Amino acid sequence: MIEDSAWIRCINCGETYSLDYRGYVCSKCGDLLEVILNLDILNINSWSIFKDRSRGVWRYRELIPVDYNRRVSLNEGGTPLIECKRLNEWVGLEKLYIKFEGTNPSGSFKDRGMTVAVTKAVELKVKGVICASTGNTAASLAAYAARASLPCITVIPEDAAVGKIFQAIAYGAILVKIKGSFDQALKIVFQVSEELGFYVLNSVNAWRIEGQKTLGYELAEEIGGECIISVPVGNCGNIAAIWKGFKELAELGLLRNLPRMLGVQAEGAAPFAKLVKEHGEQLNPIDNPRTIASAIRIGRPVNWKKALKAIRESGGDVEIVSDQEILEAQTAIARLEGLGVEPASAASIAGVKKKVEIGELDKNDTVVCVCTGHILKDPNLQLFKPIALIEVEPDREKIKHELHEIVNHLSMKNIHITYVKKQSW
């Protein structure tokens, strides 16, 4: 008998399923599932098989148990790891890196999960794909569904960021806008998907995690495991995925040290961070999550059990930041490094800054902040103040005069990193 190279397992009761299992949760106990690689028979004992391949999710194809030859890919992953030589001072650290996921095909890390999960959808021969989304999942799924020529439905709360909705429309998804929260959108998705024969691609779907774990593989190759990885947390999928990636490499013997995982949530949407801070065992969901960072505006994080494991196993921690702190971090990243990230992504920096301030991070710690999505996802002209704005007639002399004044007073050392509430253009 040939031994399986991978299977699906319930995180609670341990029940196992074959890889063609179509369900999203355990049919015995209803808990989350995860894909388990049989690392013994994979027999990968050096980096050499990966080294000569181009960067990206599929560089690690042996560790992703779907049909590589049928992959639905837009060359996702392989994102830059950027050392921040000005932002680090603002944060108070010697060594700070940003893993910039905004360079993914649809502008967020969600593409890593979608390339794998939509490939699985094709394998399973589903009629279509569906998701609930605060925006980025919808944008990403719509792109990969177009690529796979699968019908796609996205269910989105009405306050989603405009750039993300625009993408879903552009890639040809059916849009359902609901007057309600993400959590309500997800409930509706499960109520309608079965009857339609559509496959649910929310992060409860373990195949999404199988793609997102490559963020951990990449970081392991780029910087190793002796660091702290700060991740904005909404549905708790990504932080669990990154940890899974690191752990698999350690179990294969390809990595000696493991990082500590730091999960950052926004004040008005922090049920997971509260659970960790209170050393609890059960999540207390909230009904009206509020934060400017729409990608992490989630009150009932589906993957909280996996994330809790990631924090505890890694000796990690959580932090809670205010919207003000998030926006200041977003501005600082843009103005000090020229990197545009969306508000949720900036939470990773804001959380680290806070940890340094309260003395829970040492200035010599090496920290990687995962900046999950691109700034153009959520352009907010109301919140950002230009460092200078001249409103005049197109008169050469007048403009020259004004610019002279400004340029003479401009100091690149003291750039404003506060934001103003209202700004008229």
Ligand X SMILES: *Cc1c(COP(=O)(O)O)cnc(C)c1O
- Residues at the interface with ligand X (CB under 6 A): 108, 110, 136, 203, 232-238, 295-296, 342, 344-345, 372-373
- Give the whole-angstrom CA distance, residue 347 versus residue 294: 11
| Nearer Cβ to Zn ion (31/357) | 31
Query: Closest-CB residue for ligand X?
Result: 373
Whether 311 and 201 have beta carbons less than 8 Å apart is answered as no
* Beta-carbon count within 10 A of 390 CB: 12
Q: Is 42 exposed, middle or buried (0-12, 13-18, 19+ CB in 10 A)?
A: middle
Which helix (H) or strand (E) is 98 found in, with range?
Answer: strand 95-100
The two three-digit tokens of residue 340, written as one number: 């545009």
Q: Quick check: 27 binds Zn ion (CB under 5 A)?
A: no
At closest approach, how far in Å is the CB of 180 from ligand X?
18
| Nearer Cβ to ligand X (203/230) | 203
The three-class DSSP label of residue 239 is helix
Whether 331 and 418 have beta carbons less than 8 Å apart is answered as yes
At closest approach, how far in Å is the CB of 312 from ligand X?
17
Q: Quick check: 277 binds Zn ion (CB under 5 A)?
A: no
Q: Which does 118 bind (CB under 5 to 8 A by kind): Zn ion, ligand X, none?
A: none
| The one segment of 22-30, 58-66, 174-182, 242-250 that binds Zn ion by CB under 5 A | 22-30
The three-class DSSP label of residue 395 is coil
Q: Quick check: 62 binds Zn ion (CB under 5 A)?
A: no
Q: Which does 15 bind (CB under 5 to 8 A by kind): Zn ion, ligand X, none?
A: Zn ion
Which helix (H) or strand (E) is 37 found in, with range?
Answer: strand 33-37
At closest approach, how far in Å is the CB of 359 from ligand X?
26
Whether 234 and 344 have beta carbons less than 8 Å apart is answered as yes
Q: Which does 372 bind (CB under 5 to 8 A by kind): ligand X, Zn ion, none?
A: ligand X
Among 4, 5, 7, 15, binds Zn ion (CB under 5 A): 15
Q: Which does 106 bind (CB under 5 to 8 A by kind): ligand X, Zn ion, none?
A: none
Place of tokens 């900036």: 346
Determine the longest span between alpha carbons in the chain, in angstroms. 85
Q: Quick check: 114 binds Zn ion (CB under 5 A)?
A: no
List, in sequence order, every residue forming a beta bridge with 321; answer none if it has no partner.
266
- Give the whole-angstrom CA distance, residue 96 versus residue 138: 31
Q: Which does 344 bind (CB under 5 to 8 A by kind): Zn ion, ligand X, none?
A: ligand X
Q: Which does 13 bind (CB under 5 to 8 A by kind): Zn ion, ligand X, none?
A: Zn ion
At closest approach, how far in Å is the CB of 281 from ligand X?
20
What single-letter DSSP state applies at residue 54? Answer: P
| Nearer Cβ to ligand X (193/345) | 345
